[in-house]
Amino acid sequence: MARDPRYDILFEPVKIGPVTARNRFYQAPHCNGMGRTHPTAMAVMRGVKAEGGWAVVCTEQCDIHPTSETTREIRLWDDRDIPTLARMTAQVHQHGSLAGIELAHMGYHAYNATSRETQIAPSATPLFGITPGHAREMDSTDIADYRRWHRAAARRAKQAGFDIIVVYAGHGLSLAMHFLSPLTNRRTDEYGGSPENRTRLLRELIEDTKEEVGDSCGIAVRIAVDELLGKAGITSDREGRLVLDLLGELPDLWDVNVSEWHNDSQTSRFSEEGFQEPYISFVKQHTSKPVVGVGRYTSPDRMVSLINKGVLDMIGAARPSIADPFLPKKIEEGRVDDIRECIGCNICVASDMLSAPVRCTQNPTMGEEWRRGWHPERIPAKDTDDRVLVVGAGPAGLEAAMSLGQRGYDVMLAEAGTELGGRVARECRLPGLSAWGRVRDYRIGQLNQLANVGIYLDSAMTAATVLETQCTLVAVATGATWRRDGTGRSHVAPIPGLGEGNIFTPDDVMAGAPITGPVVVFDDDHCYMGGVIAEKLRAQGHAVTLVTPMAEASAWTVYTLELGRIQKRLLEAGIEILGAHMLSALGRDEAEVTCVHTGRSHGLACAATVLVTGQDSDYALHQALTKDGDAMATAGIRRVIRIGDALAPGTIAAATWSGHRFARELGRRLPDEPTYRYELPALAEPI
């Protein structure tokens, strides 16, 4: 199809100093959990973004010196690091895009766990988070050294083939921003005090970089114009504007956002598309240079509006480019309905936080481009004559049926209920999770384009009806059920007294079961479910106490950058959070809770208890089929496999990945060796 003329403006070239981007799509720097540990996987992933139409494809942050050492990012410490990054630029250039690199020094945020170098900062300060130790205050020699390290890294980046060098002063993670912020810069010399002095180092870094490589590389500045801390920090109506007034014409491009990372990458549970616009909309009034910003944009109409209103010159994206690396090309080719929209769940962030290759709920191929050879838009044509039955239309079943259909297989998708989506259809009705419905909606849209996939609602399958389908492969995607006996992470056996209490599970709450308060929600799952269930019950007017063995509600969401916002929302809703306590017993109108540290117990009045603990896979159909091998052979079924939560309950991302893997591999048995490629470190010179 032809591109809609309304979107022509998105495909105009943008000049960035001495280089030109072929369109207005800019993949902003984002972490990926691969870095220097999996450099080829990282390079190929970035290359796929370029193939998908992103005119600029940036790295994650790149450490420039051992005094700023992380465990999972790329680095340019010396010339030995150049070949690793040259592999990435080659992949990006192959598709006509520009490669950008974000040069970073993390200051007092640096781990230095391997290098053991003392962290440095504008002013002496305790290390970030709960890490023991302090960063020392930089003297004039340290500042000169930092400038020299940055200049050397820019020179090496040019040698590696990068077209855009990003001077990093954002997210509260960078030394340059530590100098900018009055919260972290308490100096009294020429680098501290007034905003002009605190801006001095950033000016010098920009000038150094332009002098070193500006003849052939565009120089960008990535900066937080608001720390969302009010007058205590940088704000977009005061010092954020002043920095632009002082430096507005110096770089070739401004990449603007808010700080810190948990503010810049807010989930859809707490923010809408374009939530940063009130903070960044002033920037173009203070510079003639192109401006890029992010906001989890997936709507091309919204993108055009941003350009026409003079808010941005380029549409930046990290998470939307992960969910759909081909987003620009789909707009260009008139396939807007085929965009795989980001749901803003931050599972991509969580994987990086756990030092694992990036993954995505919407895009199961993310991180697997080189490791398994999976491409987000291409899948091999069928290579067997199988007819496939997929039982269950949750995220795993939908993904399997869609991908199998795209391969050319004849597929029957049987769903016992009257709607598609499984757990996604239920969970997207919970507070704040409506965007998660995109997982279902995208796959239904794609399935409706496939004549070789038949969808059968209200079709509960038994072993007998499966045998009658004339299918040769069966994928059981029947999901999982929340347990009602309290068995979970902390309890290895059922909780005493459950027979006397009024017991519910998240399945009951989502199904609309009538519940009377006060309610105790026992969260031994620690992901998002306990918090949203408590929020839903409170919105219904119940008094709610959330009890958890962890210190905070939904503790795992520290990895999705939501933990603080979840506590705030629950507390502001009037929900009591009782941390570090177990649900130890249950009576008719009282729950007994026990402190995990002291073992002391006390009672909580409750008319109902919701157990958010463990889950059981629903795989009775799989058992019924596989116990009768003769019947399967007679019916021509050569394999029955469980996928998604029916195999092992997990995240929605794990379910879509499981369904996709089945479609690619048709449920082949586990081999004795890894099913993906991986890299080994090169040995040093002989010892």
pLDDT in tens, 431-478: 999 999 999 999 999 999 999 999 999 999 999 999 999 999 999 999
Is residue 63 within 8 Å of residue 338, measured between CB atoms? no
pLDDT digits (tens, 9 = 90+) for 583-638: 999 888 899 999 999 999 999 999 999 999 999 999 999 999 999 999 999 999 99
Mean of per-residue pLDDT scores for the chain: 95
Q: Where are the beta strands (DSSP E) in 251-375?
A: 253-258, 291-293, 314-317
CA 252/CA 217 separation, integer angstroms: 9
In angstroms, how far is CA 424 from the centroid of its own chain?
17
Q: Is there a catalytic annotation at residue 264?
A: yes
- How much is the CA Rg of the chain, to the nearest whole Å? 27
487 or 685: which leads in pLDDT: 487
User: Which is the catalytic residue, given 26, 30, 31, 226?
Assistant: 31
Which residues, 6+ apart, have CB-to-CB distance to 385 below 8 Å?
Answer: 472
Question: pLDDT confidence of 546, banded at 50, 70, 90?
Answer: very high
CATH code linked to domain 387-479+618-665: 3.40.50.720
Beta strands across the sheet bearing 608-612: 503-504, 608-612, 519-523, 544-547, 576-578
pLDDT for the residue numbered 587 = 85
pLDDT for the residue numbered 334 = 97
User: Which is the catalytic residue, given 38, 65, 150, 171?
Assistant: 171
pLDDT digits (tens, 9 = 90+) for 185-221: 999 999 999 999 999 999 999 999 999 999 999 999 9
pLDDT for the residue numbered 672 = 80
Would the pLDDT of 501 be above 80? no
Question: pLDDT confidence of 493, banded at 50, 70, 90?
Answer: confident
- The conformational region for residue 409 under phi > 0 = left, psi -120 to 50 = alpha, else beta, is beta
CA 579/CA 4 separation, integer angstroms: 53
pLDDT for the residue numbered 365 = 98
Question: pLDDT confidence of 495, banded at 50, 70, 90?
Answer: confident
Domain 484-615 has CATH 3.50.50.60: yes
pLDDT for the residue numbered 35 = 86
User: In this prediction, what percent of the chain has a pLDDT beyond 90?
Assistant: 90
Would the pLDDT of 131 be above 90? no
* Residue 565: DSSP 8-state: H
CA 184/CA 442 separation, integer angstroms: 44
Q: Is there a catalytic annotation at residue 581?
A: no
Q: Which residues pair with 68 in a beta bridge?
A: 65
User: Which is the catalytic residue, given 81, 264, 313, 525?
Assistant: 264
5-353: CATH topology:
TIM Barrel (3.20.20)
pLDDT digits (tens, 9 = 90+) for 292-333: 999 999 999 999 999 999 999 999 999 999 999 999 999 999
Type of residue at 539: A
pLDDT for the residue numbered 497 = 78
Compute the half-sphere exposure of residue 432: CA atoms within 13 Å on the CB side of its CA: 22
SS3 446: helix
pLDDT for the residue numbered 681 = 80
Would the pLDDT of 1 be above 80? no
Q: Is there a catalytic annotation at residue 168?
A: yes
Give residue limits of the domains in the chain.
Answer: 5-353, 387-479+618-665, 484-615
Q: Is there a catalytic annotation at residue 31?
A: yes
CA 47/CA 32 separation, integer angstroms: 14
pTM, full prediction:
0.96
Question: pLDDT confidence of 95, banded at 50, 70, 90?
Answer: very high
Question: pLDDT confidence of 129, banded at 50, 70, 90?
Answer: confident
pLDDT for the residue numbered 46 = 98
